[in-house]
Amino acid sequence: MKKYVSFAVLWVACSLPAMACDKPSSPTSIPDGKSASKDEMMAAKKTIDGFKMAMEEYLTCESSKAKQESAHAELEKIADRFNEQVRAFKAKG
């Protein structure tokens, strides 16, 4: 019986790191900087920051170079889109 319990505990312990390495989903929308309010832009910033932190965590545990590169490209794409909207928001004055 102890053998089976030990095996189960070991299996769970080994599987946790694998389960923890889930790629976060990217934000579904970024407000249009030309028409968004300050509150909408601040909420989007919090969402983007959370996505960035989750993606950085994912990148540290993902061992596949191809998946790392894909995730990094996705993170850069989202950041570029958000920064474009921030510039549009600031331009409207």
Better pLDDT: 13 or 55:
55
The answer to whether 27 and 47 have CB atoms below 8 angstroms apart is: yes
**pTM (predicted TM-score):** 0.74
pLDDT tens digits, residue range 48-71?
A: 999 999 999 999 999 999 999 999
Residue 92 phi, psi dihedral angles, 5° rounding: -75, -10
pLDDT at 17 over 70: no
Residue 93: pLDDT band (50, 70, 90) is confident
When the pLDDT of each residue in the chain is averaged and rounded to a whole number, the result is 86
The answer to whether 58 and 71 have CB atoms below 8 angstroms apart is: yes
